[in-house]
Structure 1
Amino acid sequence: MKNELLTIGPFTVYGYGLMIGIGVIAAYLTAEMRAKKQGLDNGERVFSLVIWCVIGGILGAKLLYLITQYREILADPAEIFRDFADGFVVYGGIFGGILAGWLYCRVLKLPFLKYFDLVMPSIALAQGFGRIGCFLAGCCYGQPTNSCIGITFTDSAYAPNGVALIPTQLISSALDFLHFGLLLFLARKCKADGQVAGFYLVFYSAGRFVLEFFRGDLVRGSVGALSTSQFISIFTFFAGIIMVVCLGRRRAISAEDESH
Structure 2
Amino acid sequence: MQHYMTFPAIDPIIVELGPISLRWYGLMYLVGFVAAWFLAKKRLSTTPWTEEQLSDLLFYGFLGVILGGRIGYVLFYQFSHFIEDPIYLFKIWTGGMSFHGGLLGVITAMALYARKIKAPFFQVADFIAPLIPIGLGAGRIGNFINAELWGRTTDVPWAIIFPNAGPLPRHPSQLYEFLLEGVVLFSLLWWFSSKPRKKGAVAGLFLLAYGCFRVFIEFFREPDVQMQGIYDNILTQGQMLSVPMILFGLFLLLRKAPVISHKEQA
Q: Which category of TM-score, normalised to the shorter sequence, fits these structures?
A: 0.7 to 0.9
The whole-number CA distance in structure 1 between the counterparts of 2:82 and 2:136 is: 28
Q: Give me the identity figure in percent.
A: 28
C-alpha deviation, 1:40, in angstroms: 3.2
C-alpha deviation, 1:83, in angstroms: 4.6
The answer to whether the aligner puts 1:90 opposite 2:99 as a matched pair is yes
- Kept in 2, the 8 Å contact 1:35–1:118? The answer is no
Cα distance change of structure 1 residues 245 and 66 upon mapping to structure 2, 3 Å threshold: same
The answer to whether the aligner puts 1:188 opposite 2:194 as a matched pair is yes
Which ranges of structure 1 fall in alignment gaps of 5 or more residues? 255-260
2:207 maps to what in 1? 201
Over the residues paired in the alignment, what is the CA RMSD in angstroms? 2.2
C-alpha deviation, 1:79, in angstroms: 3.4
- Kept in 1, the 8 Å contact 2:212–2:246? The answer is yes
- Kept in 2, the 8 Å contact 1:192–1:251? The answer is yes
Local SS of the residue matching 1:116: helix
Cα distance change of structure 1 residues 140 and 174 upon mapping to structure 2, 3 Å threshold: same
Counting matched residue pairs gives 246
* Aligned equivalent of 2:257, options 228, 243, 250: 250
1:25 partner letter: V
1:257 maps to what in 2? none
1:41 maps to what in 2? 49
Which ranges of structure 2 fall in alignment gaps of 5 or more residues? 1-7, 261-266
- Kept in 2, the 8 Å contact 1:65–1:88? The answer is yes
CA deviation string 1:115-150 (max 9, x = no partner): 211111110111111110111112221112221111
C-alpha deviation, 1:153, in angstroms: 2.6
TM-score normalised over the length of structure 2: 0.84
Which structure carries more helix by proportion?
Answer: 1
The structure, 1 or 2, with the larger RCO (C-alpha pairs under 8 Å, 6+ apart) is: 2
1:170 maps to what in 2? 175
1:1-260 map, 5 Å: 2-4=10-12, 6-7=14-15, 9-10=17-18, 12-36=21-45, 38-68=46-76, 69-154=78-163, 159-160=164-165, 162-175=167-180, 176-219=182-225, 221=227, 224=231, 225-246=234-255, 249-251=256-258
C-alpha deviation, 1:28, in angstroms: 1.6
TM-score normalised over the length of structure 1: 0.86
The whole-number CA distance in structure 1 between the counterparts of 2:121 and 2:188 is: 22
CA deviation string 1:178-205 (max 9, x = no partner): 1101111111345212101100000000
